[in-house]
A and B are shown apart, each in its own frame.
Chain A
Amino acid sequence: MFDYNFHWRPVMKSLPDLIDAAFLTLQVAVLAMIIGIVIGLCLALIRLHLKGPLYWLASTWVEVARNTPALFQLFFFGFGLGAFGLHLSPYLIVLTGLSFNCAGYLAENFRGGFQALPDTQLRASRSLGMTAWQAYTRVVIPQVFRIVYHPITNQMVWAVLMSSLGMLVGFRELSGETQFFASRTFRIFEYFAITAVIYYVIVKIILAASRLLAIRLFRY
C-alpha cells in the first residue's frame, strides 16, 4: 500500500531557488502589511468619525475585503482589471490584492482598538492645547497599537500564508516557485512538503520577532 519512493535530490538541488522565493514571499507580505496598516487605520478613522460618501466607501471596502474569498479579490486585481485593459504584473496583483484584504481586516481591528480606549485620553490631550493630529499621533494611536498588536501579528502571519494564492495568478513566490519545480520533476509531494516546512519556519521567525519587539516597545 505504501510503496511511494521519496526522491529528495531534485528538491535539494532547487532549495536555493526556493529560499530566494521565500524572501519574495516575505517581501510581498511585509509590504502588503505596511500598506494595509496605513489604509486600515484610515478606514477605521473614517468609519468612526465621518458620514457620507467617504463613510460608505470605507464600509464597502471593509465589507468586501472581509466577506469574499481572498482568491477572488486577487482575481479581481488580475483578471478583473485586465478586462478593462489595466494589466498588472503578477507581483502587483498579489501586492494590491493582499493589501486590499489586509486593510479590510485591520480596519476592524483598529476600530475595536479605538473603541477600547477611553475617549478621556483624547480630551486630556486636547485640554493641553494639542491639535487633534498631535493628540492622535502622540497619545491615541500609540496606545491603540498596543491594544491591536497581537491581532496585527496574526494578520502578518495570515498575509504570509495567503500570499501562496499568488501561485494562481502566475506569481513565482514560494508556492509559485514550488509549483514550477514540482511540475517539471513530478516530485510534487516532496516539493510541497519542503515548502510547508519553509512556511512554518517563516511564521515561527515572525512570531519570535513579534514577541521580542513587544518587549522592547511596551515597557509600561
Chain B
Amino acid sequence: MIEIRDLHKYFGTLHVLKGINLDVQKGEVLSVIGASGSGKSTLLYCINGLEPIQDGKVVVDETDVHAKGTDINKLRQKLGMVFQQWNSFPHLTALENVALAPRIVKGKSKADARDIAAQQLSHVGLGEKLDAYPGALSGGQQQRLAIARALAMEPEYMLFDEATSALDPELVGEVLETMRMLAEEGMTMICVTHEMGFARDVSDRVAFFHQGVMEEIGPPEQIFGNAQSEHTRKFLANVR
C-alpha cells in the first residue's frame, strides 16, 4: 500500500505539490489526470524517491521513502517506473536492457537474468526482438521494452509517467494495450496520463490534479460523468 500524507514539494520557490493526501491500495489502478505543470509527474518522482520532498511523507508498504535510514535502492525494486521518454539503454540489446538490473541489482546469475528478460520481453510482445538494439525499434516497441525492463524486477507497483505522450499516434494503442494487460493481471498501477479513454476504462479511481492540489478523486464514473469540482469539469471539457 502506498500512503501519501500532506506531501509538499518545491522546485526552488515554486510550490509544485501543495499538501497531497492519497492512499493507493494493493491491486488498484489509479489514473492521475490534469493539465501540464499540475504536479502529476512530480508526484511519481516523489513516490520512488527520485525527487526529495520538503514536507509530509510517502510510505510504501510501511517504509518511509524519504526517511534517512531507508535503503532506497531496495525500495525502488518494488516500484517499477516507465517514463515519458522511454529511456531504453541504446548501447544494450533489448535482452541486455531487461537483464541488466536483475543481474547487477538482484544478483541473479547471467543465465537466470537472460531467462527472466526473454520471458518479460515475450510477455510484452517483443519475443522476436531479443537481440535488437533500441535504435532499431519503433517508439512503441521501445516503450514496451521499458515496461518489460521494469517488470523484470518483479515490482509490486508500477508507476507510469505519461507513457504514451511522446509516441506517434499510431503507436499509442500497443502501449495502452500492454498497460491494460498488466491491469488485468492485478498489478497495482499509478498512471499519469492524458489518455482519457484509458483512464475511464481501466482505472478503479481517477485523480484530478490542478495547480499542485488534488482537486478531486473518485471512480471514473464520477470524474467523467458527474465531476464535483468545476476545475475538473472545465479540464475535461477542454480535452474532449
Contacts and interface: CB of A to CB of B under 8 A. Distances in A.
Given A134-B105, A220-B90, A129 B149 contact: no
Contacts of B214: none
A130 B89 CA distance: 14
Contacts of B91: 142-143, 146, 218, 220
A126 interface: yes
A220 to B, nearest CB: 4
Contacts of B48: 127
A129 B133 CA distance: 23
A127 B92 CA distance: 17
Interface stretch (B31-39, B70-78, B190-198): B70-78
Most buried by B among A128, A139, A142, A146: A128
A85 interface: no
B145 to A, nearest CB: 11
Interface stretch (A117-125, A179-187, A199-207): A117-125
A89 interface: no
A134 B104 contact: yes
Contact of B87 (A124, A129, A142, A220): A124
A220 B135 CA distance: 7
B119 interface: no
Contacts of A143: 89-91
A87 interface: no
A7 interface: no
B67 interface: no
B43 interface: no
B200 to A, nearest CB: 28
Contacts of A146: 91
Interface residues of A, number: 21
B100 interface: yes
A181 B153 CA distance: 66
Interface string B145-172: 0100110010000000000000000000
A134 B104 CA distance: 8
B65 interface: no
A120 B104 contact: no
B83 A124 contact: yes
Contacts of A211: none
Contacts of A9: none
A13 interface: no
A139 B83 contact: no
B223 interface: no
Contacts of A124: 81, 83, 87, 89, 146
Interface in B8-52: 48, 50
A65 B74 CA distance: 42
Given A134-B104, A138-B100, A220-B133, A127 B90 contact: no
Contacts of A51: none
B149 A128 contact: yes
A60 interface: no
Contact of A127 (B81, B100, B134): B81
A130 B73 contact: yes
Interface in B112-151: 133-135, 146, 149-150
Which 10 pairs between the two chains have the least Cβ-Cβ distance?
A: A124-B87, A128-B101, A127-B81, A220-B133, A129-B77, A129-B76, A129-B105, A129-B73, A120-B87, A142-B91
Given A129-B106, A220-B134, 4 more contacts: A128-B77, A128-B149, A130-B105, A143-B90
29 contacts: A120-B83, A120-B87, A121-B89, A123-B83, A123-B87, A124-B146, A125-B89, A126-B50, A126-B76, A127-B50, A127-B79, A128-B76, A128-B101, A128-B150, A128-B153, A129-B73, A129-B74, A129-B76, A129-B77, A129-B101, A129-B106, A129-B153, A134-B104, A139-B100, A142-B91, A143-B89, A143-B91, A218-B91, A220-B133
